[in-house]
A and B are shown apart, each in its own frame.
Chain A
Amino acid sequence: AQKVTQTQTSISVMEKTTVTMDCVYETQDSSYFLFWYKQTASGEIVFLIRQDSYKKENATVGHYSLNFQKPKSSIGLIITATQIEDSAVYFCAMRERQSSNTDKVVFGTGTRLQVSP
C-alpha cells in the first residue's frame, strides 16, 4: 500500500539557518511523483516543489531544494537561509499513476517548522 511518513512532528530553528525535513515513502510503482506543500497559520496550502521519480537531479526552487535518495525511498526538503515567514506546517505527498490512468494521492502527517529571530 502507498504510504508517506514524516517522523519529525516539530522543528525549531533560528532565522537564516538551513533546515532539513525528512520524508520516506512506500510504493509498488516504478513511476511516481513526490511533492512538498506548505500550510501557513491561516490554513492556506501552497505547493512548493516537486520531484519526478525518473529524474536523478534534485529539484530546486528558490530557497527550497530536495534531497532525493531513491534507493532509500527518501525525499527530504531543505530550506536554506530560513526566514520568519517560513514558519508553517510542511507536508510531503506522493502521487502514483494507477493502471487505470488515474492517480492516487497520499499526504504525510506534516512537520511543523518554527523559525525564530
Chain B
Amino acid sequence: ETAVFQTPNYHVTQVGNEVSFNCKQTLGHDTMYWYKQDSKKLLKIMFSYNNKQLIVNETVPRRFSPQSSDKAHLNLRIKSVEPEDSAVYLCASSWDWGIEQYFGPGTRLTVL
C-alpha cells in the first residue's frame, strides 16, 4: 500500500530548465528525505528535513533546493538542470531521525 506519493513519475527536460518534483506522505511521519539514485543504482541522500531542521548533504549543488509547506510535503526544486542531474529522485519519510524509512516510487529525470 503506497503511503509516500511522488509526482511526476517521469520528466524529460532540456539543460538549463527549472524543474520541480512533489512528494507527499500520509503516514504522519515528521521527517522527510530526498535521495538521488544514479544509473549504477547508487543511493545518495540529498536532504533530510523535519519541522525543526534541514540537513543538507554538503555535496549537493546549490541549484537543488527542498521546499516544504508542512510536515507531510517535501518538494524538490532544481533551478537549472544539467546533464548529470539525470537520475531517479526518491522521496522517503520516517518517524524521527533515526528510524527506518518508507520510500516513494521515485521520479525519473532525463536531461537532454
Asked if B39 lies at the interface with its beta carbon under 8 angstroms from chain A, I say no
Say what secondary structure dominates the interface of chain A: strand
Q: In the complex, which residues 68-117 of chain A have their Cβ closer than 8 Å to any Cβ of chain B?
A: 89, 91, 95, 97, 100-107, 109-110
Residues of B within 8 A of A101 (CB): 97
Contact at B90–A45, with CB atoms within 8 Å?
Answer: yes
CB of A1, distance to nearest CB on chain B (Å): 12
Asked if B72 lies at the interface with its beta carbon under 8 angstroms from chain A, I say no
Contact at B48–A102, with CB atoms within 8 Å?
Answer: yes
For B48, B98, B103, the residue with the greatest tally of chain A CB atoms inside 10 Å of its CB is B98
Asked if B22 lies at the interface with its beta carbon under 8 angstroms from chain A, I say no
Residues of A within 8 A of B48 (CB): 102-103, 105
Q: In the complex, which residues 22-61 of chain A have their Cβ closer than 8 Å to any Cβ of chain B?
A: 33, 35, 37, 39, 42-47, 50
Asked if B12 lies at the interface with its beta carbon under 8 angstroms from chain A, I say no
Question: CA separation between A101 and B43, bound complex, in Å?
Answer: 23
Q: What is the 8 Å Cβ interface bit string for chain B, positions 33-59, against chain A (1 contact, 0 not)?
A: 100000011111100100001010000
Contact of A50 among B33, B42, B100, B106 (CB under 8 A): B100
Question: CA separation between A39 and B92, bound complex, in Å?
Answer: 14
Q: A91-B43, A102-B55, A105-B45 are in contact. Are A43 and B97 (CB under 8 A)?
A: no
Contact at B103–A97, with CB atoms within 8 Å?
Answer: no
Contact at A44–B103, with CB atoms within 8 Å?
Answer: yes
A52's closest neighbor in chain B, by CB? B98
Residues of A within 8 A of B88 (CB): 43
Q: A105-B45, A109-B42, A110-B41 are in contact. Are A97 and B101 (CB under 8 A)?
A: no
- A sample of 6 inter-chain contacts (CB < 8 A) reads A33-B99, A43-B88, A47-B101, A102-B53, A106-B45, A107-B43
Which residues of B come within 8 Å of A, CB atoms? 33, 40-45, 48, 53, 55, 88, 90, 92, 97-103, 105-106
Which residues of A come within 8 Å of B, CB atoms? 33, 35, 37, 39, 42-47, 50, 89, 91, 95, 97, 100-107, 109-110
5 extra interchain contacts, Cβ-Cβ under 8 A, other than A45-B90, A105-B33?
A: A44-B103, A50-B100, A97-B98, A102-B53, A110-B41
